[in-house]
Chains A and B, each alone.
Chain A
Amino acid sequence: MKRRRLDLAQVPANVGKGVDDRYKVATPLRGLLNKVFPDHWSFLLGEIALFSFVVLLLSGVFLTLFFDPSMKEVTYDGPYTALRGVDMSAAYASSLHISFEVRGGLFMRQMHHWAALLFMASIVIHMARIFFTGAFRKPREANWTIGIILFLLGFFAGFTGYSLPDDGLSGTGLRIASAIMLSIPVIGTWMSAAVFGGEYPGEFIIGRFYIAHVLLIPGGLLALISVHLGLVFAQKHTQWPGPLRTNDNVVGERMFPRYALKQGGFFMAVFGTIALLAGLFQINPIWLFGPYLASAVSSASQPDWYVMFMDGLVRLMPAWQIDFPIGDGYVLPPLFWPAVVGLGALFTLPMLYPTIEARRTKDKGSHHLLQRPRDAPERTGVGAMAFTFFTIATLSGANDVIADKFHISLNAMTWAGRIGLLVLPPLAYYISVRVCLGLQQHDREVLAHGVETGIIRRNPDGRFEEVHQPLGPVDDHGHPIPLDYIGWVVPKKMNRVGALAPAIKGFFFPVETLPEAPVSPAVPSVTGPSAREEITSGR
């Protein structure tokens, strides 16, 4: 029998050939692996959301193995002495079981919760990047809308998850949710009765929220995330303007190997950060909150941060109740405006923003180059306005904690929130538009006159003037020929145009050798005080 020698170097080629012979994947894979992604740190913010969603799925699956989504009454008999003998629901008891008895259970619970907070936080940060750089413009309006729906789904995923352990805090949150449903005219009572299976809290809500939390909402999230990413692939990623970059190309790195390796590393970083948070910072200590009792409500009962803006709007709403003298009398509670109308508007308006902006600017072209925030001052102003509104509403959602810890009257906090909600957003709009215009103006100034060198020259007639380093060619009189404004970074310091050798920045020592500082033929290198001469602009 003849022994065949195994040629190790040939193994990948053989395996690859074998796979391609059977499945014909070489052509589509080649396109995929060679796909080019532009590189900028701000393009990685969406990945944080994607990767924390992966962590959510993994840790969530672990938790389902031990969680009992039942409102059956049990008496706790576990190792946590401070609750032993207390009547509670099976859901709460199993959450305690996960926290205290399952090996690594508390860590997984905390990881799941921190990942949820990170998921929502990175969605908001990513959305801000998309908004302020104009990445939502045609052809990407649909992806922007999907992003908003993803936030909305995350909002409900978070809320249902917050309710599942059936502790004191989550029951209080559910009570508020039922009140919001009840505030809706005509259908409110029907809706609440349908969701809770009768009067709040009923016996079904945990089971219903459980199936929504582990199947329906994650399914929706997963589907929409796939479409979201698929659209990024199909429509290609936007890029910053710059050398060689046009509206018709993409300059960056190939998907494989560099971009994929970077993404793999970044996934590990996100995973590690969540694990770090879960290991160091306690989150949602349900054992201190006790089982849910309608009569036991703690002070500082807040929703998680991404729902807090709604809580804040409810807190700030004046008690304006509308009575309709129909039949036995009909009441529209003030809660309806911030919680139902407000929430609806806060999700619908952003979805429509790309259309609104395109109509306003009469811009029908496709855009693949991003805009710096300063180059679209009105959009930046609108964004600043929206985020100011959101921030004030969110802070008002925690206004009792802020009032207590900073020794401010709670009433003063409420009024500051009410006034701030109306006054500060327009102010933010005005300030950011002025800042954008000012930054633009400075860029144009440098393009026209050159970089300030910091060298002051005294003319024979006694005038002082600062020497400017032109960024481009000069005319016959030595005046710089003004450069076009293209909306990209303009060097503003001499060491950005090669006056100094690039220094080693950051924590890690670079592997590559640094390039020598290019020596300008017009400017002799600085050698010492004796050899120092006046630097001229070439005049």
Chain B
Amino acid sequence: MTSDTPAGRRFRVFNRRRSAPSRARRRLGAAARMLAALALAGGIYTAFAPGAFAEDDTQLSTAAQEGQALFNNSCVTCHGLNAEGVEGRGPSLIGVGSASVEFQVGTGRMPMTRQEAQAEQKRPVFDETQTKQLGQYIQELGGGPQIPAGDLTDNVKTNPEALAKGGELFRLNCAQCHGNVGAGGALSSGKFAPSLHDATPSQIYGAMLTGPQNMPVFGDNELTPEQKTEIITYINTQIQNDKDPGGIFNLGGYGPATEGLAIFVVGITILVFTSLWIAGKS
């Protein structure tokens, strides 16, 4: 309401009073408007923004409390007291979700033995219930992706196309690092893509969802949940259950490298001994 505002418009908006208000009245009105604006802004803020002490009043579920106890014993050194991460040791776990926890802890990668290029898979430290509890704690703490319950593979009998589609998606998205046969492969500087031969469907799903270690995240926008289950179907049926013809030994599925080794170790060795034998018979 500056002085260059057209008079007609001002009067159209505020046309209740003809004369200008008194000085005291103006002051009082300004103060009231100020108070109302502050109350509105503060109210909106308190309604929408997370409070500084939010988790103090939200009650963790029993499973999450168990998980918190485990977390405080085993994870807190690197991930910090409230999973906020410790500089130079471990990342924040806010928002990673239970999917990440169940993958990392369930495959034994976490807790890590030592800081290195990549956490190795090993015998899990926590059993399945404890892993779920830890996951529940991290989930309630910061939210994030979760591994869906239920069967994560397609039935090849009722949905025969899933296998071929999964294979195509696997070769396009996974084989670059894990190899066409899922045997795993090297990345730079000691990092690697592990073999897929012992991965369970939920682990594969969790890995795609959360991108553990050096793996990229395949969120639901990149690969829909249906495509994920198709890939798992392919890995499970074709690679793990080894419906693979061509002999007793598949030489690890490492391609021509081990085939070249085999021709010397098996073929040439047998034939050199044969030639020794034949030439000795004179």
Contacts and interface: CB of A to CB of B under 8 A. Distances in A.
Interface of A: 39-45, 47-48, 81-86, 99-100, 106, 110, 114, 117-118, 121-122, 125, 168-169, 253, 258, 262, 265-266, 269-270, 273-274, 276-285, 288-290, 293, 295-306, 308, 394, 397-398, 400-405, 407-412, 506
A290 B171 contact: yes
A273 B271 contact: yes
Contact of B263 (A39, A114, A398): A114
Nearest to B169: A296
Interface in B221-237: 234, 237
A81 B167 CA distance: 10
Contacts of A48: 268, 271, 275
Q: State the majority secondary structure of interface residues on B.
A: helix
Contacts, number: 221
Contacts of B251: 281-283
A183 to B, nearest CB: 23
Given A45-B275, A83-B164, A288-B244, A298 B175 contact: yes
Nearest to A86: B164
Given A40-B279, A281-B259, 15 more contacts: A39-B282, A48-B275, A84-B163, A86-B167, A117-B267, A122-B271, A168-B175, A280-B247, A285-B250, A299-B175, A299-B178, A304-B259, A304-B260, A398-B256, A409-B117
Interface in B129-183: 156, 160-161, 163-165, 167-168, 171-172, 175-181, 183
B184 interface: yes
Contacts of B281: 262
B278 A301 contact: no
B255 A302 contact: yes
Given A300-B254, A308-B256, A290 B167 contact: yes
A273 B267 contact: yes
Contact of B244 (A270, A285, A298, A506): A285
Given A296-B171, A299-B186, A39 B192 contact: no
B280 interface: yes
Contacts of A288: 180-181, 238-239, 244, 253
* CB-CB nearest 9 A-B residue pairs: A305-B260, A299-B185, A282-B246, A398-B257, A44-B275, A41-B279, A404-B186, A409-B190, A298-B180
Contact of B188 (A262, A283, A411): A411
A295 B188 CA distance: 21
Category for how many chain B residues contact A: 35 or more
B95 to A, nearest CB: 30
B186 A82 contact: no
Nearest to B268: A121
B276 interface: yes
Nearest to A173: B256
A148 to B, nearest CB: 20
Nearest to A109: B246
B277 A506 contact: yes
B214 interface: no
B233 to A, nearest CB: 10
Contacts of B258: 401
B163 to A, nearest CB: 5
A125 B185 CA distance: 31
B187 interface: yes
B184 A410 contact: no
B235 to A, nearest CB: 11
B164 A81 contact: yes
A39 B280 CA distance: 8
B189 A411 contact: yes
A279 B267 CA distance: 13
B175 A110 contact: no
